[in-house]
């Protein structure tokens, strides 16, 4: 029977008195400085799956009869841990990492330092496991491993800052796993599963709260500190920041953040200090972004995203040879005319003249700076530009609304040649248009017209916002409503197109 703790066992000894004669005393190594929330113990009738060619740091335990179902995660764990170590360039701090597959665990995971637990169905894999669940098993394991650094090696000073744990864990759940499994397209699925879910969750004023939200006690009933804001929006903010400063600068800054604050408590200020150190004080590794950020402060930029609730809608207006960009807080509820909240927004863009979706660092970008022109900006545009798209590859947490003629030109482009627009922007255009219509900022005729191109859509990613958006419309109609049958038939037709597309992909 294993007796496990954050660190290894040093000695087991029998009780040395009559009172303790049937007891066994277990002595463990001394831990490094550790938050009380990271301490873990386990005593149970579990077995470790032997794996002679596996990493000697990771160990996976389960009930004896279930060992064959943890073989997949036992063999995957070393690569997942090594990938994180390589990405952040910080070695795992403990001599071992024990992973437990526990039945009926109250939560999907529990991330103790050196000793973490999963719900069995989160990591069990056998010959009958669906492909989706195999992906989730590996991602869940990577999420727990990320917590060994973000939450254990460095710990938020208080519950106000849980996103420093949960945001990084969700980020690496996708992007570190993507390093191990590049064919899984996790960058794309991050957008539809995390970013678009943030945009949905955070557009209702009843649910909005800042990432860094003052919390008097951990049991505060006003909101869940581990909700979609902390997890999903935290990760989306980090992805946005990565695309603003570049991958290499992002990695270096995360390394500085961890090494400077190891075995200590942190606030967002510590993270922004690390990014300031890398992006501004050193030579920027990504010159295009480095130069556009040069007169800014990470604290000033990022605090608009962590200390303010919600997110902006960027409104594009065409005037002669320029595009005028303004921003407002976005909500599907009744807008508050007195809300003057503004964000620092760095938006990349492309047009039909360039169709450059490959690299958000090399594409043209524009700053919407709250301290300059009330957060507005102008972009020059040639007369021959038919359509333009802001927020290339959907990296920024915002929605974008265009003049009607640009929406119509984009729809025409999608109908004629959808592949000319990056798949993430196809998904973005669908999601934005449906939710702008829901908020009363756009006629529903635009997203309806956009669905005409779907007969030519050969990727599953844009179908997620399609079905989510139109299901929302259908769910809010009573069967007795005029037009309910037409909307239901329309959604069924879309589902049929999607099914046939997936069926062809499987056949190929």
Contact assessment for residue 99 and residue 60, using Cβ atoms and an 8 Å cutoff: yes
335 with 395, same domain: the answer is yes
Q: Mean pLDDT in the chain?
A: 89
Does the structure show a pLDDT above 50 at 133? yes
Confidence of residue 208 (pLDDT cuts 50, 70, 90): confident
The predicted model gives 111-130 an average pLDDT of 94
Confidence of residue 24 (pLDDT cuts 50, 70, 90): confident
Range of the domain at 58: 10-115
The predicted model gives 426-442 an average pLDDT of 97
27 with 71, same domain: the answer is yes
pLDDT at 218: 53
343 with 458, same domain: the answer is yes
Contact assessment for residue 62 and residue 47, using Cβ atoms and an 8 Å cutoff: yes
The predicted model gives 123-139 an average pLDDT of 95
Asked if residue 342 belongs to a domain, the reply is yes
Name the residue among 404, 425, 408, 413 with its Cα closest to residue 456: 413
As a whole number of angstroms, the distance between CA 508 and CA 498 comes to: 16
Read off the DSSP letter of residue 150: B
Interhelix angle for 463-475 vs 484-507, to 10°? 160
237 with 348, same domain: the answer is no
pLDDT at 286: 47
CATH number at residue 365: 2.60.40.1910
Of 188 and 19, the one with more pLDDT? 188
Asked if residue 133 belongs to a domain, the reply is no
Of 398 and 356, the one with more pLDDT? 398
As a whole number of angstroms, the distance between CA 293 and CA 279 comes to: 8
Q: Classify residue 243 as exposed, middle or buried by CB count within 10 Å of its CB (0-12, 13-18, 19+).
A: buried
| Tens-digit pLDDT profile for residues 110-120 | 999 999 999 99
pLDDT at 216: 60
Give the CA radius of gyration of the chain.
25
Asked if residue 67 belongs to a domain, the reply is yes
Contact assessment for residue 126 and residue 145, using Cβ atoms and an 8 Å cutoff: no
Strand pairing category for 41-43 and 24-28: unpaired
99 with 237, same domain: the answer is no
Residue with tokens 């002679």: 52
200 with 226, same domain: the answer is yes
The predicted model gives 151-164 an average pLDDT of 95
**Can you say how many angstroms the Cα of residue 391 is from the centroid of all Cα atoms in its chain?**
17
Confidence of residue 207 (pLDDT cuts 50, 70, 90): confident
As a whole number of angstroms, the distance between CA 401 and CA 441 comes to: 8
Contact assessment for residue 302 and residue 268, using Cβ atoms and an 8 Å cutoff: yes
Does the structure show a pLDDT above 70 at 211? yes
What's the farthest any 2 CA atoms get from each other in the chain?
Answer: 94
Contact assessment for residue 276 and residue 298, using Cβ atoms and an 8 Å cutoff: yes
Report how far apart the first and last C-alpha atoms of the chain are (Å, whole number): 49
Does the structure show a pLDDT above 90 at 89? yes
As a whole number of angstroms, the distance between CA 197 and CA 228 comes to: 8
The predicted model gives 237-244 an average pLDDT of 96
265 with 354, same domain: the answer is no
pLDDT at 285: 47
300 with 156, same domain: the answer is yes
Of 289 and 468, the one with more pLDDT? 468
Does the structure show a pLDDT above 60 at 472? yes
Q: Which of 199-208, 353-362, 405-414 has the lowest mean pLDDT?
A: 353-362
72 with 197, same domain: the answer is no
Contact assessment for residue 266 and residue 236, using Cβ atoms and an 8 Å cutoff: no
pLDDT at 297: 87
Structure tokens at 143: 């999420």
**SS3 call for 446:** helix
Interhelix angle for 163-180 vs 131-147, to 10°? 130
The order of strands in the sheet holding 377-380 is 377-380, 322-329, 312-319, 399-401
Does the structure show a pLDDT above 90 at 377? yes
CATH number at residue 275: 1.10.390.10
Asked if residue 82 belongs to a domain, the reply is yes
As a whole number of angstroms, the distance between CA 501 and CA 508 comes to: 11
Does the structure show a pLDDT above 50 at 287? no
Question: Among the three residues 70, 99, 115, which one is the final residue of a domain in this structure?
Answer: 115
302 with 329, same domain: the answer is no
Asked if residue 453 belongs to a domain, the reply is yes
Asked if residue 358 belongs to a domain, the reply is yes
Of 222 and 70, the one with more pLDDT? 70
pLDDT at 18: 65
Asked if residue 192 belongs to a domain, the reply is yes
Confidence of residue 362 (pLDDT cuts 50, 70, 90): low
Quote the number of domains for the chain: 3
Q: What pairs with residue 328 in β-bridges?
A: 313
371 with 499, same domain: the answer is yes
Asked if residue 266 belongs to a domain, the reply is yes
**Residues of 379-416 as b/e, b for ≥16 C-beta within 10 angstroms?**
bebeeebebbbbbbbbbbbbbbbbeeebbbbbbebbee
| Tens-digit pLDDT profile for residues 243-271 | 999 999 999 999 999 999 999 999 999 99
pLDDT at 20: 76
pTM, to two decimals: 0.92
Question: Among the three residues 88, 115, 142, which one is the final residue of a domain in this structure?
Answer: 115
Judge whether 147 is annotated as a binding position. yes
Contact assessment for residue 252 and residue 241, using Cβ atoms and an 8 Å cutoff: no
pLDDT at 288: 43
pLDDT at 361: 65
Structure tokens at 435: 């939710």
Name the residue among 357, 424, 402, 369 with its Cα closest to residue 195: 424
299 with 326, same domain: the answer is no
CATH number at residue 91: 3.30.2010.30
Confidence of residue 70 (pLDDT cuts 50, 70, 90): very high
Contact assessment for residue 302 and residue 273, using Cβ atoms and an 8 Å cutoff: no
As a whole number of angstroms, the distance between CA 147 and CA 407 comes to: 43
Structure tokens at 53: 């060619």
The predicted model gives 369-377 an average pLDDT of 88
Confidence of residue 387 (pLDDT cuts 50, 70, 90): very high
Judge whether 307 is annotated as a binding position. no
**Residues of 66-81 as b/e, b for ≥16 C-beta within 10 angstroms?**
bbebbebbbbbbbbbb
Question: Among the three residues 91, 115, 139, which one is the final residue of a domain in this structure?
Answer: 115
């Amino acid at each position: 029977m294993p007796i496990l703790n954050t660190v290894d066992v040093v000695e087991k000894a029998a009780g040395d008195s009559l009172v303790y004669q049937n007891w066994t005393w277990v002595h463990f190594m001394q831990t490094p400085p550790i938050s009380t929330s990271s301490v873990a113990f386990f005593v149970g009738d579990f077995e470790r799956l032997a794996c002679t060619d596996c990493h000697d740091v990771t160990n996976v335990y389960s009930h004896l009869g279930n060992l064959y179902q943890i073989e997949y995660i036992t063999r995957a764990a070393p690569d997942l841990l090594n990938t994180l170590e390589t990405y952040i360039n910080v070695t795992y701090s403990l001599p071992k990492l024990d992973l437990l597959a526990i039945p009926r665990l109250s939560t999907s995971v529990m991330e103790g330092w050196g000793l973490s637990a999963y719900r069995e169905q989160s990591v069990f894999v056998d010959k009958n496991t669906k492909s989706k669940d195999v992906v989730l098993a590996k991602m869940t394991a990577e999420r727990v491993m990320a917590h060994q650094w973000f939450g254990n090696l460095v710990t938020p000073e208080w519950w106000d800052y849980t996103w420093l744990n949960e945001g990084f864990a969700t980020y690496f759940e996708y992007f570190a796993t993507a390093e191990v499994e590049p064919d899984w397209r996790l960058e794309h699925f991050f957008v539809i599963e995390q970013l678009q879910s943030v945009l949905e969750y955070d557009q209702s004023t009843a649910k909005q709260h800042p990432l860094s939200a003052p919390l008097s006690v951990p049991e505060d009933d006003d909101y869940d500190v581990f909700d979609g804001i902390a997890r999903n929006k935290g990760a989306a903010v980090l992805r946005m920041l990565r695309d603003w400063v570049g991958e290499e600068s992002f990695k270096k800054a995360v390394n500085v953040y961890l090494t400077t604050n190891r075995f200590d408590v942190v606030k967002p200020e510590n993270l922004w200090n690390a990014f300031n150190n890398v992006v501004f004080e050193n030579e920027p590794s990504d010159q295009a972004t480095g130069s556009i950020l040069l007169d800014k402060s990470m604290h000033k930029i990022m605090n608009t995203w962590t200390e303010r609730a919600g997110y902006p809608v960027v409104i594009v207006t065409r005037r002669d040879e320029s595009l005028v960009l303004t921003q407002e807080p976005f909500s599907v509820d009744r807008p508050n005319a007195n809300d003057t909240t503004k964000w620092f927004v760095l938006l990349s863009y492309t047009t039909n003249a360039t169709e450059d979706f490959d690299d958000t660092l090399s594409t043209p970008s524009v700053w919407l700076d709250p301290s300059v022109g009330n957060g507005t900006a102008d972009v020059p545009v040639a007369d021959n530009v038919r359509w333009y798209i802001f927020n290339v590859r959907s990296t920024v947490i915002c929605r974008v609304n265009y003049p009607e003629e640009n929406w119509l030109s984009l729809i025409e482009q999608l109908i004629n040649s959808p592949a000319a627009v990056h798949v993430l922007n196809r998904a973005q255009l669908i999601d934005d248009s449906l939710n702008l219509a829901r908020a009363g900022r756009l006629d529903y005729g635009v997203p309806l017209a956009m669905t005409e191109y779907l007969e030519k859509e050969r990727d599953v990613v844009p179908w997620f916002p399609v079905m989510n958006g139109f299901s929302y419309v259908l769910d809010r109609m009573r069967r007795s409503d005029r037009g309910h049958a037409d909307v239901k038939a329309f959604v069924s037709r879309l589902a049929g197109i999607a099914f046939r597309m997936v069926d062809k992909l499987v056949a190929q």
